[in-house]
Amino acid sequence: MKINIVAFGIAKEIINSPECSLEVKTPCSVGSLKETLMAKYEEFQKLKSIKFAINEDYQEDRFLLNEGDEVVIIPPVSGG
């Protein structure tokens, strides 16, 4: 199934684009997607934490994705 990915901050730099599509196996959880991204883009393994919003709602690793879902990668944020 095809998943649409939107990336911000360092995640955008890692995938070299603000948006992309990724073909994943069905069923696919957020955790499985995270593993797929880490295998495809090794730089994700260096991040201490990464969150995902699915269709504008934060979701945990066990959440199952659906065809056409918009997945937003939320990288770690630091501030002062």
The per-residue pLDDT for range 25-53, each reduced to its tens digit, is 899 999 999 999 999 999 998 887 889 99
- Phi, psi (degrees; rounded to nearest 5) at 17: -170, 150
Range of the domain at 68: 2-74
Q: Establish if 8 belongs to a structural domain.
A: yes
Cis ω before 18 (30° cut-off from 0): no
CATH of the domain at 67: 3.10.20.30
Q: Establish if 80 belongs to a structural domain.
A: no
Q: Which pLDDT belongs to residue 48?
A: 78
Q: Establish if 55 belongs to a structural domain.
A: yes
Q: Establish if 79 belongs to a structural domain.
A: no
Domain count for the chain, please give it. 1
Q: Which pLDDT belongs to residue 57?
A: 95
Q: Establish if 9 belongs to a structural domain.
A: yes
Q: Which pLDDT belongs to residue 76?
A: 78
Q: Establish if 41 belongs to a structural domain.
A: yes
